[in-house]
Structure 1
Amino acid sequence: MIKLVVADCDGTILDDHKKIDPQLKEVIKLLKQKNIIFTLATGRNIFLMEEVVQDLDLEYPYIINNGANIYQKNKMIENYSLPKEAVQPICSILENENFPFLAYSEKELVIYSKHQLLEGFKEKLKNKLEHIEFNPSINFSNIPFFKITIATDDVEDIKETKKQIEELFPNINFKRSEGTLFTITSSQATKGNAIQTLASMLGCKKDEIMVFGDNYNDITMFDVASVGVAMGNSDQTIKQCATHETSDNNHNGVSEFLIKYFGL
């Protein structure tokens, strides 16, 4: 019996225009009547989640920054920061190899170079986080960073740099998140690990968990759930990791699956 449902945001409950599945809020209410908890696990940070959390009126803790943090409303209740000694060298390597990146902390956004895939994030966080242009001479060792997001035009281009960073810092998690975006977090910070932490808080076991996802940063979620649902817009690689498939994010894939599965 499923007691906990966890869904990704972009490409999952959000359509291509970043609008929420219009049936979902009502479906969450119907799930609650069956004592089923619904929450989210996303690569977004807290500021990019505020509107989604409010619109869905989420009561329960939710996962952000690809598993680096668990929040309830606007309060952080779990935190897996990057190793402090790793941030400066990693950023310097990325700069030397000319890979555009954003490094996120609670109050700062460290920026290197421009890239169309990162410009939207920067713009949305303009008045939320202090924007700092990366300079190797600035000491970031006292700031807890949760995530570094890297943009590349071709996933093959970053392979050698990824290997170099992983060899230097085996206690980090360097993964492709979506398309040609990659993220670096603590080795403990994955959506799967965060769901296990959350499930423990809520008293749920693996066979009581259902997850929805569409991209590479969602694969660890499928590993910790008995029912893993891939969106119709997912790559074939993602679909192969899931137990079920639903329609795409532009056709209310999450709510439609929940309605049918639970007979709502």
Structure 2
Amino acid sequence: MKTRTLYISDLDGTLLDSNSIVTSHSIENINHLLQKGMLFTIATARTPATVVPLLKQLQLDLPVVLMNGAVLYDIRNKHYIQTNGFTDDSALRYISVLENRDLIPFVYRIENNKLQVFHKPLVNDIQRDFKYKRENTPYKDFIPTDNYTAELTDNPPLFMLVIDRFDKLETAAAEITRAGNCSVFCYRDIAVPDYGNLEIYPKGVSKAATAQLIIDRINPWEVVAFGDNLNDLPLFNLADRRYAPANATEEIKRQATAIIPDNDHDGVARFLCEDFL
């Protein structure tokens, strides 16, 4: 058994199937391996609002990396261990760039151990569906606003997320990258390729940077990463071995040690059963 190997998996498109769930087969097999001492955790762009219910049946002991590294989260005790947000007013400058391009960001911050998401009126169905699926939970409040500056001056945000047409996002990402001192991730939505996500974090924030905190704590012999999209590349660069499901983007596949079965065929769990035991 590889009890000193740390396995780190992305969720969407990787551990989650196309219905955005962890299948009963994956739950049963991963829990069996965890009981035998496997070191396993999650690194995802998602927030506690969806991660906690999605993973409630997994017996995870290690902290999880959420919001692409903006936070390290204790999933058992529902507590933010560390946050890596903006510490100055630079986020407001990036928001101004987005608004000048008619883009509406979801702006995330933490207040009293609860996530708040500020947004102006939403303009497309994908934005509205994103909010609908994530609101009314004990872990996150969506707060409409007509003035980001008034909301954020005294408490800078963790990060910004924009959901819109990919061509618009790509252009905005290039402008912010040129002008700013931040970490920018821009990638297509796998289910709706004409649309995508643009995420803006303080410089240096990534899944890998926050996963390093876990690595420093447990000192594994090796790190194995699973991912399917461009925001997983920093994690891949950190890992000793890298595995991409068959549904992953071509760039991720090129960086992978090997390709595993796709996310609709329990690729991560099937690999873990073969690799750990």
TM-score, shorter chain, exceeding 0.5: yes
Aligned-pair identity (%): 25
* Change over 3 Å in CA distance of 1:34–1:136 after alignment to 2: closer
Correspondence for 2:185: 175
Q: Which amino acid aligns with 1:257?
A: F
Aligned counterparts, 1:185-200, within 5 A:
185-200=201-216
- What's the counterpart of residue 253 of structure 1? 267
* Structure 1 residues 236 and 163: CA distance shift in structure 2, 3 A: closer
| 1:246–1:101 CA distance, 2 compared to 1 (3 A) | same
How much has 1:196 moved relative to structure 2?
1.4
In 2, distance between residues paired with 1:50 and 1:116? 25
Cα distance in 1 between the residues matched to 2:149 and 2:131: 22
Q: Per the alignment, in what secondary structure is the counterpart of residue 201 of structure 1?
A: helix
Structure 1 residue runs of 4 or more that deviate by more than 6 Å after TM superposition: none
1:18 and 2:30 aligned: no
Give the C-alpha shift of residue 60 in structure 1.
Answer: 1.2
After superposition, the Cα gap between the structure-2 partners of 1:136 and 1:145, relative to the gap in structure 1 and judged at 3 Å, is: closer
| CA apart distance, 1:3 | 1.7
| Aligned counterparts of 2:255 and 2:52: Cα–Cα separation in 1 | 30
Q: Which residue of 2 aligns with 1:117?
A: 126
1:30-41 map, 5 Å = 30-41=32-43
Greater displacement, 82-91 / 130-139:
130-139
From 123, 147, 157, the equivalent of 1:135 is 147
Counterpart mapping for 1:1-264 below 5 A: 3-73=5-75, 74-106=78-110, 107-112=115-120, 113-127=122-136, 128-135=140-147, 138-155=150-167, 157-170=168-181, 172-179=182-189, 180-205=196-221, 208-263=222-277
In 1, distance between residues paired with 2:149 and 2:207? 33
RMSD between aligned alpha carbons?
Answer: 2.0
- The change in CA–CA distance for 1:148 and 1:134 in structure 2 (over 3 A counts) is farther
Distance 1:51 1:139, change over 3 A: closer
Q: Residue 84 and residue 123 in structure 1: after superposition, are their counterparts in 2 closer, same or farther (change >3 A)?
A: farther
Contact 2:173/2:198, CA 8 A, preserved across alignment? no
TM-score (structure 1 length as normaliser): 0.90
Deviation string 1:59-108 (CA, Å, 9 cap, x unpaired) is 21000000110111211112110243122222122111012321111242
Summarize the Cα distance change of 1:241–1:83 in structure 2 as closer, same or farther, 3 Å threshold: farther
Letter in 1 for 2:185: K
Q: Secondary structure at the match of 2:11?
A: coil
CA contact (8 A) 2:169 2:198 kept: no
Deviation (angstroms), 1:54: 1.4
Within 1, Cα distance between the matches of 2:166 and 2:42?
Answer: 29
Q: Mind listing any 5+ residue stretches in structure 1 that lack a counterpart?
A: none
Aligned length: 259
**Residue type of the alignment partner of 2:17:** D
- Segments of structure 2 that go 5 or more residues without pairing to the other structure are 190-195
Deviations 1:123-164, CA, capped at 9 Å, x for gaps? 133223141234256241222322211123133x33442233
TM-score (norm 2): 0.86
